Amino acid sequence: MLVTSVVGFVIGRLVGLTTVTALYVAVAFSFSSTIVIVKLLSDKDELDTLYGRISVGFLLVQDFIAMFILLGLGAIGSGASLPDIVAQTLIKIAFLVPVLMMVSAYLVPRLVAFAAKSQELLFVFSVAWCFLIAGLLVWFGFGVEMGALIAGITLSGTVFEREIGARIRSLRDFFLLIFFVVLGTHLNVSSVGSLLIPTIVFSLYVLVGNPILAMLVMRALGYHPRTGFLSGTTAAQISEFSFIVIAAGIALGHLDPSVLTLATTVGLVTIAASSLIIQHNADIYDVLRPLFRSMEPARSLAREHKAVHPEAKTYLFGLHDIGTAALEALQEIRQPFAVVDFDPTVIRNLERVGVPAIYGDAGDDSFLEEIGIERAKFIVSTIPDVSVSLEILGYLRGESFAGTAVVSARTKDEAEKCYAAGATYVIIPTVLGGEKLRELLAEKKARRPSWQRLAELARVS
């Protein structure tokens, strides 16, 4: 957010905005839309992927930053001096954080557990809780937006979070529609022409610049360019908080009302375009991949791994919920194995406990060749991306692989494609849980006929 705000401020000054206006616009346009991104990733069933978790993670950080900005703007609105504004903001934060922690830890779980006895009551309670917390915080001098945000945070920490999300999904989608209707009402067509150049420049910056900056920052943190690109594409739109910040600036007299038209136009363009980009981000990366080839570290890391560890007989691709259970079973088999993942945090944690781990992209043929998976006896991929599964299977088929290949898919149709590509067995995470996979690995090990019989039974059922 710091990087995108600084670049956005420079762009604002270059297109002729005043210093104050450029500062407001730069900060406002550094937010990405939580509701749009979560909706699209949920529809793609990619919330639990590495880039999906990272995207939701930085959205949460943005929400907290927005909370502090709204506190500061509220203090400015009271007419206080700068020292008083800082003092008021710190006092409110000091009061808000411990109360939020206590409510989330002790009160909310008991209330939600009681309401969860009935699905209808759970739905009503969730909506009522939102209005209650929002109303209380308005009464204490906070903004209604902050109240709604905190209400969601307190509910998200309960064991019934997924059920609550499922209950309110239709309501969320309805208000998402209302959001776009209200957005359209702020569009002053008569002033669009005078703001055409700033609109085009900022739209291109948000759609192209934000993803590139996000990818560069994530690459500096050690993430694979593919993860950085996919995460960056989710940031290619402005947020509902952008309009709240702009509206607050207008209410305080810092901004001309025409700035809201600029934000509205940029919002409509970027939200519409980024929705298409997010839907096809993996395909877009495949097309642009040659441009990012120099950023991929796979070969040097694979050679470094070979120098330290003997060649593995088993490879486990992807270490998340199911992969963790699979790892425990592979450790019990006591054959040379290695874990492959392109989350640098996972790799560091595995190396810390002495587990052979390689950082790289399982969907890259050159990387697969570098680590020599065709010479292994057993391949297990718990990555539920069918394109990655098909890439691994295609490479193995081209190398006349004679071992056992267990891969993952999200649906039965995708599983059939993997079987046609040569998979010995296909994991469907919604059907086969991590503990069951652990049992199968311990029982069948790398014996190809056992997995083939299991696959025949699964396809028949």
Q: Where are the domains of the chain?
A: 2-292, 301-460
Q: How far apart are CA 210 and CA 416, in angstroms?
A: 38
Query: For residue 216, what are its two tokens?
Result: 């560069």
DSSP line for 358-369: EE--TT-HHHHH
- Choose among 23, 214, 235, 234: nearest CA to 8: 23
Strands ordered across the beta sheet of 404-408? 357-359, 337-341, 314-317, 378-381, 404-408, 425-427
Question: Is there a common fold for 2-292 and 301-460?
Answer: no
Protein fold of 2-292: Na+/H+ antiporter like fold (1.20.1530)
Instruction: Look at residue 9 in the predicted model and tell me its pLDDT.
Output: 92
CATH of domain 301-460: 3.40.50.720
Q: Residue 298: what pLDDT? A: 47
Q: Using CB atoms within 10 Å of the CB of residue 261, give its burial: 0 to 12 exposed, 13 to 18 middle, 19+ buried.
A: buried
Which residues fall within 8 angstroms of residue 9, CB to CB, at 6 or more apart?
22, 23, 26
Taking 70 as the pLDDT cut, the residues of the chain under it are 74-75, 77-82, 85-86, 88-89, 141-143, 186, 191-192, 296-311, 320-325, 333-334, 430-447, 450-451, 453-461
In 3D space, the residue among 161, 47, 72 whose CA is nearest the CA of residue 109 turns out to be: 161
Task: Tell me the C-alpha distance between 341 and 353, whole Å.
Answer: 16
pLDDT of residue 10: 93
What pLDDT is recorded for position 440? 63
Q: Which two tokens stand for residue 200?
A: 């085009």
Report strand pairing: 337-341 vs 357-359: parallel
Q: Number of helices (H) and strands (E), helices first, in the chain? A: 24, 6
Give how far the C-alpha of residue 23 lies from the chain's centroid of Cα atoms, to the nearest Å: 27
pTM: 0.67
